[in-house]
Amino acid sequence: MHAGRTAETGEVRTRCYRGRELSGEGFPLSEVSEALAEAETVVWVDLAGPSAAQLHEIAAELGLHELAVEDAVGRHQRPKLDRYPTHLFVSTRAVRLNATARELLETEVDAFVGPRWLVTVRKGAPFAIEPVLQRWASSPSLLEYGVPFLLYGVLDVVVETYFDAAEAFDEYYDTVSEHLFSRQRLDLEQQREWFEMRQALVRFHRLAFAMREAVGSLIRREGALIPDALAPYYQDVYDHILRASETADSLRDLVATLVETSLSLRDYRQNQIVKKVSSWAAILAVPALITGYYGMNVPYPGSGEVAGVVSATALMAGSSAALYALFRRLEWL
């Protein structure tokens, strides 16, 4: 495959299909309309990090709606499906969890969907197009369905990134669950890490829910676009994003449980510390009471005699030992 890039523009890839065969690739954007002039051809254009000029050029070639182009030029589009008179605009987000940096990386992948052409626009963090090409190549018999099959390949690869991210979140919180009951105390950096990962999970949940709505809307509202032979494939994509969304829901519940458990354990450990301090304070208070009593300037049994010292010492030792045994039995010490 040929690709072109300049310092001011993004990478451009083009392909032309006729039936099940690849009939051309690597042609410039200005020749897209010429390729479509041939009967029964399907054109795919991929723009990675495109400039506004490139988007407007392909818009002029294919007659893209200005609002759709504006969405593609802009940033931070949520996953959605927009319908225009001559084409559809599908905005998706591919995701990847960087657990080391506690960051959810997102790549906006937009698609202009026409009767015989598909334009994909990739922005933000890197999203490799090669898995999409491999998905198309793995089912050459489905290429005869044209644009619906090409769009399926894009959506399937994007949705797979949600599965990978959900699995990474699940592994991370398994580790957190095990760490909760260890005797090691959390430092400030670990608490910050947990908070940042929780923020990433909230963002992931929102994206998964929006992706589910976009794919579901595509299947429900654009049923005529999807041939019967491809309906199971689109349903499979929807089932996958539905499971990813449900996993995100479960993880949010798990995180809430972990937070409650962490707070309960913190209170429990504080209570244990208070019990230990109080127990030792009570044990030390008894000898202080006895020595204080015998230290008064008044006569007492055994005053000035060895027997008095022995009895006072025995009383302090016996009382302290009794209190220590009592607190041990109560598991305060």
DSSP one-letter code for 184: S
**Which pLDDT does position 150 carry in this prediction?**
95
Of the listed ranges 98-102, 262-266, 269-273, the least confidently predicted one is: 262-266
Residue 3: predicted pLDDT: 47
Q: Is residue 2 part of a domain?
A: no
Confidence of residue 171 (pLDDT cuts 50, 70, 90): confident
Q: Which tops the pLDDT comparison, 285 or 89?
A: 89
Instruction: Retrieve residue 102's tokens.
Output: 């506690």
User: Do the Cβ atoms of 246 and 299 come closer than 8 Å?
Assistant: no
On the question of pLDDT at 159 being above 90, the answer is yes
Residue 44 has pLDDT above 80, yes or no: yes
Nearest CA to 8 among 54, 45, 44?
54
The range of the structural domain enclosing residue 18 comes to 11-265
DSSP class of 332: -
Give the predicted TM-score (pTM) of the model.
Answer: 0.76
Q: How many domains does the chain have?
A: 2
| Residue 20 three-state SS | coil
Q: Are residues 237 and 308 in the same domain?
A: no
283 shares its domain with 208: no
Q: Residues 32, 62: contact at Cβ < 8 Å?
A: yes
Asked if residue 304 and residue 257 are part of one domain, the reply reads no
Average pLDDT value for residue range 242-259:
83
Q: What's the mean per-residue pLDDT of the chain?
A: 83
Statement to judge: residues 258 and 279 lie in one domain? no
Q: Model confidence over 120-153: pLDDT tens digits?
A: 999 876 788 999 999 999 888 899 899 999 999 9
Question: What pLDDT does 1 receive?
Answer: 39
Q: What is the pLDDT of residues 191-246, one digit of tens each?
A: 788 788 888 888 999 999 999 999 999 988 766 788 989 999 999 999 999 999 89
* Same domain assignment for residues 93 and 213: yes
241, part of any domain = yes
Give the tokens for residue 41: 């051809």
Q: Are residues 236 and 309 in the same domain?
A: no
Count of residues for the chain?
Answer: 333
CB atoms within 10 A of CB 138: 9
Residue 3 lies in a domain: no
The CB density around residue 11, as the number of other CB atoms within 10 Å, is 16
Which of 31, 139, 331, 84 has its CA nearest to residue 69? 84
E strand or H helix at 316, and its extent? helix 306-329
Q: Give the model's pLDDT for residue 102.
A: 81
How many Å apart are CA 65 and CA 72, to the nearest integer?
A: 11
Angle at 122 between CA 116 and CA 128, to 5 degrees: 100
Mean pLDDT over 310-328 rounds to: 77
Residues 44 and 95 in one domain: yes
Judge whether residue 161 has pLDDT over 90.
yes
Task: Indicate the pLDDT class of residue 302, thresholds 50, 70 and 90.
Answer: low
pLDDT at 176: 79
Task: Choose from 91-105, 171-185, 254-268 the range with maximum mean pLDDT.
Answer: 91-105
Whether residues 24 and 102 fall in one domain: yes
> End of a domain among 265, 290, 310?
265
Q: Which is more confident, 194 or 170?
A: 170
Note whether 90 and 157 are same-domain residues.
Answer: yes
Residues 34 and 153 in one domain: yes
Same domain, 296 and 182: no
Query: Residue 83 forms beta bridges with which residues?
Result: 88
- What pLDDT, in 10s, does the model give residues 77-91? 789 999 999 999 999
> Is 202 a domain residue?
yes
DSSP string, 121-179: EEEES---SHHHHHHHHH-GGGGGG-HHHHHHHHHHHHHHHHHHHHHHHHHHHHHHHHH
Assess whether 320 and 253 both reside in one domain: no
Instruction: Pick the last residue of a domain from 244, 265, 286.
Output: 265
